[in-house]
Amino acid sequence: MDEISILRPSDRWDDFEADLERALLASGLTVKLRTTLKQFPGSLHWHVKRGRAPGTLEITLLPAQRHAWFSIHSNRRGEWIAAVLSDLKQALEAPAGAT
């Protein structure tokens, strides 16, 4: 599994969910699952897909720790993930007013 940290400006954490929704919409992606992870109490966790194409991109947010990351499991890879990952990362790491 690959994990890629999201390095967000400290003043932008409260807007993470709204920024994520905008970035997903702009990339043509849909949320197929929104839940929490048992191993990370208080977390928010998304499974994201591109239409019916193979692959699932996972995004996890730990609001209390101000930490977030993308996860790509080896059995859930899809060609589209590499194509959108850079844009999503850039949108989520942008300073205020840049999105």
What global pTM score does this model have? 0.92
Q: Which residue has the tokens 């400006």?
A: 9
Tens digit of each residue's pLDDT (9 = 90 or more) over 2-56? 999 999 998 889 999 999 999 999 999 999 999 999 999 999 999 999 999 999 9
Residue 49 CA: distances (Å) to CA of 14, 25, 59, 83: 24, 11, 11, 13
User: What is the CATH number assigned to the segment(s) 2-93?
Assistant: 3.30.310.240
The amino acid occupying position 83 is A
DSSP 35: E
| pLDDT bracket for residue 97 (50, 70, 90) | low
Tens digit of each residue's pLDDT (9 = 90 or more) over 24-37? 999 999 999 999 99
Of 44, 47, 65, the residue nearest 55 (C-alpha): 47
Residue 52 CA: distances (Å) to CA of 16, 26, 32, 80: 26, 17, 11, 11
| Per-residue model confidence (pLDDT) at position 95 | 82
| pLDDT bracket for residue 94 (50, 70, 90) | confident
| Per-residue model confidence (pLDDT) at position 96 | 73
Token pair listed for 94: 């942008």
The amino acid occupying position 96 is A
The amino acid occupying position 64 is A
